[in-house]
Amino acid sequence: MAEPKTKHVLVAIAGSGFGGLGTAIRLKQSGVDDFVVLERASDVGGVWRDNTYPGCACDVESHLYSFSFARNPEWTRSFSPAAEIHAYLRSCAERFGIVPHLRLGHEIESATWDDDAQRWRLETSQGPITADFFVAAVGALSDPSIPSLPGLDSFAGTTFHSARWDHGHDLAGKRVAVIGTGASAIQFVPAIQPKVSALKVFQRTAPWIVPRRDRALGERQRNILRRSNAAQWMKRAGIYALRELMAVAFFDTNVAKLTQRLAMKHLERSVPDPALRAKLTPSYTMGCKRILLSDDYLPAIAKPNVDVVTDAIAEIRPEGVLTKDGTLHEVDTIIFGTGFQVQKYPFAERVRGKRGDTLAETWKGGMTAHLGTTVAGYPNLFLLQGPNTGLGHTSVITMIESQIEHIVNAVRYLRTRALATVEPRVEAQAAFVAGVDAKMKGTVWTSGGCASWYLDARGRNSTLWPGFTFTFKRRVERFDPSEYVVMARRSRTTVNVENENEKKTNGTSRLEVAHG
């Protein structure tokens, strides 16, 4: 019996979080309907589907942490809980007609560029798919990171990561160890502290914490927003402006030190014990590591049933955690709040470009991409939340939307000219990366005196954008063909085509194209 034909689409999108759904929506709005959204899970939502730990919520106000083209007047809180954000993404998929394009339970096992056919060959858990364009919207916070601790497998109790919360495990009356004090831990620690009998928080580095000031959004305010698009826009614009002002503290270490006063006052108000307060006082400039927002973490840490442990972990034993000072901390449960594999970017091991190398091999010396979106040697590949697109001060959705517009414009450019492939010029990508590194110098991330997951093995900040989001938007949204090599359907001849948007040489705009 003949094998079924491999399905071919114009665009294959990996991931159904904000990036994947946003790309799908904008493609559809631009007239492109030949695409699929491949999702390994059984539902859309990305991190907001996966993270269901107690207290999980966004640390950016919801009226900004949402699509600009799908503003939502129904948010119930300033900083909405994960379940509301997940529901919002599901509603967007339905509202914009993306559901028929979803392929749930389709994990991408490999993505290989076929240079002869000029298309991507995707092997999924449900069979092969080919696509002219491949958008990797898998996100930077999708694969949990669990440290390799000696003896972890010997632990007699229960262990899990915050992003894979074990809701069947009752924490009431348990002795619990929390390893890590990042953005997830400061949310779930206050939620579980009243339930457990004893809580050991293993802190490697104290985070800077500022007040969250979360509040409920009443029915009256929601009614105003329902009735007025202008009110929705003003609400979003006001939050955006204030958030952009916060970016200055990251670019100027002197300003960063001034903002530390707010965090120190918050710490002093929340923790009256000077010994505990000393443990919770960071030794680096604020902003060097991720700044955390919480109103209840520090008061929870100060409760009698909580102990902050700053001694390094030596090993895990069946009965608990042994620290290097020789103390055995007996616990029933270990919860990892240790973040995600940001620098490793595991999905890169599954993507293979035109030279046969995987993206992980290409990035062996560090992650780089042109505009954080495209990579030389990987035709028709677009990354969302790629290198140097993260933020420390505002909503990453603003960055994702700029990247999506770049993708839509690139696809439109190729389709209207009957071209087949696009990839960044090596020199254009190198110039962009060099510009980012130059802007990074003198910022709190490179001179703040700390190590963080923002930095790669070489000490380069490959994660964050060292500027305002409006500068990224201005640089990235437009597709500039002079920065790219584009090719038509393959043949043996080479021609030049002209376009008014390309760089002009001697009064003529030129772009090399392999013509077929």
- Which of the four pLDDT bands, split at 50, 70 and 90, describes residue 181? very high
pLDDT of residue 4: 52
Question: 7-143+342-479 maps to which CATH number?
Answer: 3.50.50.60
- Which of the four pLDDT bands, split at 50, 70 and 90, describes residue 143? confident
The mean pLDDT value for 414-439 works out to: 97
- For the stretch 9-55, pLDDT in tens is 999 999 999 999 999 999 999 999 999 999 999 999 999 999 999 99
pTM for the whole structure? 0.90
Per-residue DSSP letters for 347-400?
Answer: GGGGEE-TTS-BHHHHTTT----BTTTB-TT-TTEEESS-TT-B-SSS-THHHH
Neighbour count for residue 471 (Cβ, 10 Å):
13
Task: Judge whether residue 252 has pLDDT over 90.
Answer: no
Task: Please give the Cα distance from 134 to 386 (Å, whole number).
Answer: 14
**Rg, the chain, Cα only:** 24
> In the chain, what percentage of residues exceed pLDDT 70?
93
List where CATH 3.50.50.60 sits in the chain. 7-143+342-479, 152-217+220-336
DSSP classification of residue 184? T
- For the stretch 446-460, pLDDT in tens is 886 777 878 888 889
The mean pLDDT value for 405-434 works out to: 97
The mean pLDDT value for 423-440 works out to: 97
- For the stretch 44-86, pLDDT in tens is 999 999 999 999 999 999 999 999 999 999 999 999 999 999 9
- Which of the four pLDDT bands, split at 50, 70 and 90, describes residue 142? low
CATH topology of domain 152-217+220-336: FAD/NAD(P)-binding domain (3.50.50)
The mean pLDDT value for 351-375 works out to: 96
